[in-house]
Structure 1
C-alpha cells in the first residue's frame, strides 16, 4: 500500500528490518512522531522542536525551520525527511532531497486534516494502530466542542511590524470551530499579512488575540494594546492554536476553554 503526501508523492511503508533514520524540520510533527512511538528513529530535529522535552533532548539539532545545517544533516545519513509547505523553504528542501531518498511533505490546512496526517505517518512508519488511537482522541475532542458566540477576531503573530493571519490558514480554521472569524486586513491578499492599526480595521474587530508564538506576546502587551485601541485583547497559547499533529487534540480542548471564557 502507498501513502500520498501533500506534494502528491506516494510513499511505501518502511521495512522494519531496516529501520529508517528520520530528520524532521517541523516542530509539531516531531512531537507527533514521538507520540506515535517513533522517537528511536528520529536522528535530527530543529531547535524549535521542543516537545516532548525529555525525549527530544537527546536528538541532534540541525538548525531552524528555515536555516538548516545541510552539512550536519548529511552527516546523520537520514533516509527520510519530513517537512511542511508553510514552515520550510522549498530551495532548502530541494537541496536536501539531493541526498535524502524520501522527502515527506505535509500541509494541514484545517483541523480535520490531522486525521489524514496521523494515518499517513502511521502507514509509512508502521504504527497505524497508534495513529488510529490518535484519530479517535481527536474526533472525541472535536465532538465535545460547544457552539461559540460569533466573534470577529484579529489573531496577531508578530509586532514591529504587526502581522496577522488570513482566513486561508490552519489557525483561522481552528478559530472558526468556535465561530471566531478571522478578519481580513484591508487591501491584503497575503496569507500572513503585515498591517497598521487604523479606525477602519478596528471597526471590524470584536476581539484581538495575541499569540504566545512566534512573537512572545505577554500580558503587558495585551494591556497596552487594549488601552491603545479600545477593544478587548486576549493573550492566547499559540502552540494550542497553530500546532497540528498530536497537539491538536489538546488544541481542541483549549478551544472549548476559550469558548467558555469568552
Structure 2
C-alpha cells in the first residue's frame, strides 16, 4: 500500500500497483490505455468511447453524472479514478467511504500534465506518463509560438442547446481557447457553463462562434439557427474532445488547434 495525494489535496491509500481500476472519466480512461494498462481496468463509463475496443469490451458502470454505484462496488475496485467537475460530489463521496478514490481537478494545462504524471505513478507506469507529458508540453509550446501574438478574436464556445449554454471563464475549455488558440472568450466573466440568450449574444460582440461536438452534438443545421441570432459572426463546428479532454488526447489536440487557428486567422 502507498499513500498518494490527489488534486483535491486528499491523501489516498492505494495498493501498488492497483490491479482492479475503474475510471469514471472518459479522458482519463483513454490515458490508462495509453499508459499500457488493459486487464487492470475493470470498469468504465458509457461515455468512455476511446479506445474503441475498451468501449465494446469493458463493463460500463453508468454515465459520468449517473454512476451505477452498486455495480462499481461489486467489481471490487482497488482504485477509482474520478474528476471534481465531471462526476457528482454525492457519488464520489459515497465511493470514497468504501474504496480508494483518486480525484483530479483540472483548470489549466499544468493541472493536466500533473494529473498524467501522478496517474502514471499510481499505476506503475511512471516512465510512460513522463513521455506522454513531455510530448504534450512540447507540442503545446510549439503551438503557442504561433498563436501567442494573434489579435484575439472575440469568441463564444457553445456546449449545449435548449437552453443555449457556453463555456465560462473558470473552465479548461476557456484556458485552451485563450492561452493556445488566440481567442478571447466573450463570456469569460461568467462561471462554469452559463445559459445565454439572443440578447446577451448580440451584446457580446462575438466575432466567432464555436459549436462543440460534445456534450451536445451540434450539427450543420445549428449553424443556420445561430446565424439568425448573431448575423455577421463566423460559426464553426469543432471537435469538443480537442478542447476538453485533458488526458493523453492532448497530444493530438495541439495539431488540431493549430489547424483551427490557421482557418480562423486565414494563415497558410
**Alignment TM-score, normalising by the size of structure 2:** 0.90
Per-residue deviation, residues 86-112 of structure 1 (Å, max 9, x unmatched): 111111111122221x11010111123
**C-alpha distance 90-200 of structure 1, shift in aligned 2 (>3 A):** closer
Deviates more, 1:147-156 or 1:211-220: 147-156
Give SS of 1:40's match. coil
**C-alpha distance 199-189 of structure 1, shift in aligned 2 (>3 A):** closer
**C-alpha distance 111-6 of structure 1, shift in aligned 2 (>3 A):** same
Deviates more, 1:63-72 or 1:141-150: 141-150
Residue 42 of structure 1 is matched in structure 2 by 41
Q: Out of 127, 130, 139, which is 1:129 matched to?
A: 127
Give SS of 2:109's match. coil
Deviates more, 1:53-62 or 1:2-11: 2-11
Runs of at least 5 residues in structure 1 that lack an aligned partner in the other structure: none
- Give the CA deviation at 1:213: 0.6
- Give the CA deviation at 1:228: 3.5
Q: Distance in 1 between matches of 2:157 and 2:142?
A: 24
2:183 aligned with 1:183: no
**4+ runs of 1 displaced by more than 6 Å?**
none
Give SS of 1:192's match. coil
Q: Distance in 1 between matches of 2:201 and 2:61?
A: 44
Alignment of 1:25-40 (within 5 A): 25-40=24-39
Residue 51 of structure 2 is matched in structure 1 by 52
- Give the CA deviation at 1:57: 2.1
Q: Distance in 2 between matches of 1:55 and 1:184?
A: 37
Q: Distance in 2 between matches of 1:13 and 1:142?
A: 32
Residue 143 of structure 1 is matched in structure 2 by 141
Quote the RMSD (CA, aligned, Å): 1.8
Q: Out of 113, 116, 141, which is 2:114 matched to?
A: 116
Per-residue deviation, residues 231-250 of structure 1 (Å, max 9, x unmatched): 11111100111111001121
- Give the CA deviation at 1:161: 0.3
**C-alpha distance 252-2 of structure 1, shift in aligned 2 (>3 A):** farther
* Aligned positions, number: 257
Are the equivalent residues in 1 in contact too, given 2:186–2:204 (CA < 8 A)? Answer: no
Are the equivalent residues in 1 in contact too, given 2:169–2:190 (CA < 8 A)? Answer: no
Runs of at least 5 residues in structure 2 that lack an aligned partner in the other structure: none
Q: Distance in 2 between matches of 1:29 and 1:200?
A: 33
Per-residue deviation, residues 32-89 of structure 1 (Å, max 9, x unmatched): 1111112221111110011010133221000001111112111101111111111111
Are the equivalent residues in 2 in contact too, given 1:21–1:42 (CA < 8 A)? Answer: yes
